[in-house]
Amino acid sequence: MNIRFLEESETQKGNPEKTEQKTTAGIFSLETAHTLYQMKVDEQGVLLHLYYGQKTDEDMSYRVCLFDRGFSGNPYEMRLTRGYSLDTLPQEYAGRGVGDFRVSAVECVSANGSRSTDLRYVSHTIEKGHAGLTGLPYVRESDDMEVLVITMRDPVIGLRVDLNYRVYPAQDIIVRSANVINEGDMPLVLEKAASACVDFLYGNFDVLHFHGRHCMERVAERVRLPKGITSFGSRRGMSSHHHNPFVVLMDRHATENTGDCYGCMLMYSGNHLEELEVDQTGSTRLVSGIHPDGFRWTLEAGEAFQTPEAILSYSRAGLNQLSHQYHDLIRDLVIDQKWQTQARPVLINSWEAAYFDFDADKILRFAAAAREMGIEMLVLDDGWFGKRDDDSSGLGDWVVNEKKLGCPMKELSEKIHALGMHFGLWFEPEMVSEDSDLYRLHPDWALCDPDRKPILSRNQLVLDMGRPEVVDYIFESMCRVLDAARIEYVKWDFNRSIANCYSGALPPERQGEAAHRFMLGTYELLERLTSRYPSLLIEGCSGGGGRFDAGMLFYCPQIWCSDDTDPVERLEIQRGTSYGYPVSAMGAHVSASPNHQTGRRTALSTRGIIAQAGTFGYELNPEKLTDEEKTEIRQQMEDQHRYADLIAHGDYYRLTEMDDGDDYEAWMFVSKDQSEALVSFVMTHVRANGQVPCVRLQGLRPNGKYQLDGTEKHLSGAALMHGGVVFPDIYGDYPAKQIYLKLIK
């Protein structure tokens, strides 16, 4: 069993004063291969957090010391024990207004206006397996998983919370969520319902978070946690380019390969908040969930609210190990099983090649030229539907513009298939243009405040996905296009943040539900499409990587990483993304030089090596390539086939420390059996008469001998990991090198 509950009475058998005691107090131990997560129900029924970290066999409750701290009050029943305060005890799901002044996990207003919530343990169940959440994405079932549900209750307001813990032993992952139920007779208004709350009694932490902007997503930044509250989040109606719903708490001395690291990843694509509070005692509380700002969910008697899942993981060996745990989980249990083994097609996308300026002949010429170089799929991006020659019109009118194309989509798709290629199409399902038939017919289907002009962004409005009729309409119009032609891939875009998040379908007092209902509608649409077209590959996208999160990955096994296709910029974006997400999830393409976003010139080889650390593809006009470039692309395609499996399924290591001033970036993939590896190296600043870069490898068999491809050299894993590999003869702008290693004995 990986989940155990040891009743306190059992632990106290030797104590004569306690033998008569009938209590449900006890210790929960959740074990994974290397970690222990321990909680205690104390005699007041408060659920305390005892420990999360490297596995031990002990009862860790000795870590909790009662200490009378001024201005930290006591629950009434503990008024004589002044050291007992909810303000200083480590808790699993802290309420508000009852003596804990730190950030809370749940906030609720009852019918009489009281804002206090005090949850106490009622019961628990431990089971094998689980059915998954309804309406929300979830981490799928594994053979060895177990589920603990702890029921907590506040009898005064009739609020029940079922805390759900799913333990994935092999992956060293614990998934948390909460189901909040109104068991009283009067309505309750939920103002906050976090997915996870974890108290770290001891330790001094840095936080690694991932901020950014359009065209520069998930920049990793490590900051020392100050006393007080540090928070990251999004109120844009999307997980956002600006703050990813993933944070890592790290020991201040931790590095890529050493030290304690705790990850918390929210499986959600909408508004989110990650709060870290270092309190008066130096303890750190981490709370993650739907952003409470603007959130107000009315629970009528008997109604329940399910939070999204938060995926927790701990590594004692630094960030690379933590990343492997998340990568394995996402590859094995988040993305749909069929995409775990099936190779993703290498695609060419029409966007940077043609933008809105194309017809079927041009697209066919692209396809033919691309096929000749071995590329496997043509994706027709924005502009094929309604009235859409720029970004000012047409969204919502998912009807093929045969006049612009010059033929029906069926004909184009058949011609592309006749070349031996797959075919993919762009959609932006959740949006509508003011200048569209859909908006003219249903202006009320767009989110917008009454009596105000809408905030426009890229000339578009956002559909109210919380309305079932909107989801039905978009589903049916997408199906009409998908049924009429052979389409194996959809790029699912989302090109603005949501402002005016007001739904005409909800009464005034329920407007605080609109943003989450929007997400539920989007997830339902994705669910219906993936069920109806089980072999359709959906690539998520949001002006690049504005919705790069585990929620979208449940439906879309890959997500376009950024609209910035400059390879040098991509080094930072892809590195930041790699902390939580596997490279098999990151759409990365070779684009033209000079680059369309930065004007920077780079070698085709550099662009190829960097795009290879993702789901590989091209985003350029193949007709403009020279013969020499075409030959090089043919070689890239051969390399891609040779390394695709290693890249998609191997362990990924960052070989440089963050912000350490190196003039290069390096990373490697090592197969799970350590029999092969691929090292990639990019010089970001070539210096005259500079030091020869030497990169120490990771993850190899120390006693194994590896052959360095293309040379006669055989070196031991120990030499490669401790002595490193050297890259002499580096010259030019952003030169890149790749070394393939094969275990020979």
So which residues are the catalytic ones?
Answer: 549, 629
**Dihedrals phi, psi of 537, to nearest 5 degrees:** -90, 120
* 389: CB partners within 8 A, 6+ apart: 356, 357, 383, 404
Residue 31 binds ligand DGJ (CB under 6 A): no
How many other CB atoms are there within 10 angstroms of residue 716's CB atom? 16
Please enumerate in sequence order all residues whose Cβ is within 8 A of that of 712, keeping only pairs 6 or more positions apart, or say none: none
The C-alpha atoms of residue 200 and residue 195 are separated, in whole angstroms, by: 17
- CA dist 403 and 715 (Å) reads 62
Q: Does 381 bind ligand DGJ (CB under 6 A)?
A: yes
Q: How far apart are CA 71 and CA 77, in angstroms?
A: 17
Q: For ligand DGJ, which is the closer residue by CB, 495 or 578?
A: 495
Residue among 351 and 384 whose Cβ is closer to ligand DGJ: 351
Taking the least distance from each CB to ligand DGJ, the nearer of 354 and 719 is 354
Using the contact rule CB under 6 A, the part of the chain among 9-17, 79-87, 539-547, 573-581 near ligand DGJ is 539-547
Q: In whole angstroms, how close is the CB of 544 to ligand DGJ at the nearest point?
A: 5
Task: Name which position in 154, 275, 563, 564 contacts ligand DGJ (CB under 6 A).
Answer: 563
Query: Closer CB to ligand DGJ, residue 55 or residue 362?
Result: 362
Task: Report CA torsion sign: 644, 646, 652, 656.
Answer: negative
Strands (E), 259-387: 261-266, 272-278, 284-290, 297-299, 304-306, 310-315, 347-349, 377-380
Here's the x/- map for ligand DGJ, 424-443, by CB under 6 A: it reads as: --x-----------------
10 Å CB burial of residue 127 (0-12, 13-18, 19+) is exposed
Stretch that binds ligand DGJ, among 285-293, 414-422, 537-545, 706-714 (CB under 6 A): 537-545
Least distance from C-beta 481 to ligand DGJ, angstroms? 16
Minimal CB distance to ligand DGJ: which residue?
A: 382
CB 619, min distance to ligand DGJ, A: 8
Q: For ligand DGJ, which residue of 541, 588, 592, 604 counts as binding (CB under 6 A)?
A: 541
Residue range at the interface with ligand DGJ (CB under 6 A); choices 91-99, 536-544, 547-555, 650-658: 536-544
Give the C-alpha separation, 1 to 30, whole Å. Answer: 9
Q: Which residues of 60-71 are buried (b: 16+ CB within 10 A; e: fewer)?
A: bbeebeeeeeee
In this complex, which beta carbon is closest to ligand DGJ, that of residue 284 or of residue 433? Answer: 433
What DSSP assignment string belongs to 566-625?
Answer: -HHHHHHHHHHHHTTS-GGGEEEEEE-SS-TTT-----HHHHHHHHTSSEEEEES-GGG-
Nearer to ligand DGJ, 137 or 544 (CB): 544
566 touches ligand DGJ by CB under 6 A: no
Q: How far is the CB of 210 from ligand DGJ (least distance, A)?
A: 18
Please say whether the beta carbons of 521 and 482 come within 8 A.
Answer: no
**Which is nearer to ligand DGJ, 162 or 493 (by Cβ)?**
493
In the region spanning residues 36 to 95, those forming contacts with ligand DGJ, defined by CB under 6 A, are none
Positions 262 through 291 that interact with ligand DGJ (CB under 6 A): none
Q: According to the binding rule CB under 6 A, does residue 720 interact with ligand DGJ?
A: no
Strand partners, 432: 461
Q: Using CB under 6 A, which of 297, 305, 351, 706 touches ligand DGJ?
A: 351
744 residue type, one letter? I
Least distance in angstroms from the C-beta of 105 to ligand DGJ: 35
Of residues 326 and 560, the one with the C-beta less far from ligand DGJ: 560
614 binds ligand DGJ (CB under 6 A): no
Judged by beta carbon, residue 351 or residue 548, the one nearer ligand DGJ is 351
Query: Does residue 543 touch ligand DGJ according to CB under 6 A?
Result: yes
Measured from the CB of residue 588, what is the shortest distance to ligand DGJ in angstroms? Answer: 12
Expressed in angstroms, the distance from the first to the final Cα of the chain is 39
Q: Is 422 helix (H, G, I), strand (E, B) or coil?
A: strand
For the bound state, the minimum distance from the C-beta of residue 564 to ligand DGJ, rounded and expressed in Å, comes to: 10
Residue type at position 458: R
Site string for ligand DGJ, 108-127 (x = CB under 6 A): --------------------
**Residue among 190, 195, 199, 125 at smallest CA distance from 158:** 190
- The residues facing 277 across adjacent strands are 229, 285
Residue 493 binds ligand DGJ, judged by CB under 6 A: yes
Q: How far is CA 320 from the centre of its chain?
A: 17
Binding residues for ligand DGJ, rule: CB under 6 A, are 351, 381-382, 426, 493, 495, 541, 543-544, 560, 563
